[in-house]
A and B are shown apart, each in its own frame.
Chain A
Amino acid sequence: MKILTGNDLKTGAVVWWTGQDWSLHVEDAVDVGDQADTILAREEAARRVNASYAIDAERDADGGVRPAHIKDRIRALGPTVRPDLTLKPADPDAGNWVI
């Protein structure tokens, strides 16, 4: 699948396109097919996202979304060396998902 990601302009937080807006959670990302450029241009112009781009991803076994590249998985979760600062501080296996 093709999903869209970027950073919130004001806060810098990593965000994912849900089909309607931008979510902090990669699980909410939708497949945009061949609409990436159109959506990104519109959303950037409206300043609803910054530094956005399209990436490949797959659906997990449990329905989650797994970005193809480790860099985007780190963006999705947070730094692997500070689990307490990630989106899933209580989940001891969260780091494994990144790798």
Chain B
Amino acid sequence: MVDILRFRDDEPVSDPAVTVDAFVDQTNAAAVRIEPGDDARALLPFLEQLRLVEVNFPSFGDGRGYSSARILREAGYDGELRAVGDVLVDQLSHMRRCGFDSFVPDKPFDAEDAEAALQRWPEVYQAAADERRPIWAKRHG
């Protein structure tokens, strides 16, 4: 069973992740946690100092974190973007596409199921926060 899935080469950040409210008041925090109701764009002035953003999924059905993740990547954030909470294997490939590069689920993943989920899609229809070329790009060179 897999407790943590991480797709980065650098050292994991060990700083505790503070809330967004606390973060914007401090000058030196490097790790922040976004809740579904937080505005990810509040972090945009601070992307340089951030090395870890945790996005919390209290319930897997609340999809606001997917938008938060993409917004941060679109703004140029290249630190660790971690999905935590009620994160399920069947969401992994979509979360990767939205820019998440690490996962700490409440319930550990079955390793085989996680691998299958990540390898599932031979192609993608849309441009997203990952490097995959969408089908429309492949069709037209």
Q: Within 8 Å by CB, do A and B touch in the complex?
A: no
B contacts, CB < 8 Å to A: none
A contacts, CB < 8 Å to B: none
